[in-house]
């Protein structure tokens, strides 16, 4: 498999590019070839446990206050959430649209509208 060497220019582009690689890896034949494929092979519970693990590590890093650690753990968390989206074939655009629909609305108002 060839991975593009072109660098995305916008923040959103990197999430989309990573998601596309996740979708490509999902189609591989053997989980030994790819970490992503191995998670898909292990199933939803494994993917969800990785999200829980990364969320906990993000919280610990946040409490620790080391900004480099926070960045690293949030990147790991985003990556595993993208795997979950890939599991359900939900493109990141669905998340962008949901966030856009909430933009400019207070959290209290948004929650009341659910």
Within 10 Å of residue 23's Cβ, how many Cβ atoms? Answer: 15
Determine phi and psi for 3, rounding to 5 degrees: -105, 135
User: Does residue 112 register a pLDDT over 70?
Assistant: yes
* CATH number of the domain that residue 67 is part of: 1.10.287.1080
Each residue of 18-68: pLDDT tens digit? Answer: 999 999 999 987 767 899 999 999 999 999 999 999 999 999 999 999 999
- Total domains in the fold of the chain: 1
For the chain, the distance separating the N- and C-terminal CA atoms, rounded to the nearest angstrom, is: 42
Instruction: Note the pLDDT of residue 107.
Output: 72
In a domain, 67, yes or no: yes
Q: Which of 51-65, 79-93, 99-113 has the lowest mean pLDDT?
A: 99-113
How crowded is the C-beta side of 42, counted as CA atoms within 13 Å? 16
In a domain, 4, yes or no: no
In a domain, 26, yes or no: yes
In a domain, 1, yes or no: no
In a domain, 5, yes or no: no
User: Does residue 103 register a pLDDT over 60?
Assistant: yes
Domain that holds residue 95: 11-103
For residue 32, the 8-state DSSP code is G
In a domain, 114, yes or no: no
How crowded is the C-beta side of 59, counted as CA atoms within 13 Å? 6
Residue 10 in 3-state DSSP? coil
Q: What is the pTM of this model?
A: 0.82
In a domain, 110, yes or no: no
How crowded is the C-beta side of 90, counted as CA atoms within 13 Å? 12
Each residue of 45-57: pLDDT tens digit? Answer: 999 999 999 999 9
In a domain, 47, yes or no: yes
Within 10 Å of residue 37's Cβ, how many Cβ atoms? Answer: 19
């Amino acid at each position: 498999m060839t991975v593009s060497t072109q660098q995305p220019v916008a923040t959103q582009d990197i999430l989309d590019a990573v998601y596309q690689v996740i979708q490509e890896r999902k189609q591989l034949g053997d989980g030994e070839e790819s970490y992503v494929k191995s998670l898909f092979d292990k199933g939803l519970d494994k993917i969800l446990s990785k999200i829980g693990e990364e969320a906990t590590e993000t919280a610990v890093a946040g409490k620790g206050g080391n900004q480099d650690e926070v960045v690293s753990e949030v990147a790991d968390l985003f990556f595993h959430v993208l795997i979950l989206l890939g599991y359900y074939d939900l493109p990141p655009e669905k998340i962008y649209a949901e966030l856009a629909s909430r933009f400019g609305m207070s959290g209290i108002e948004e929650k009341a509208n659910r």
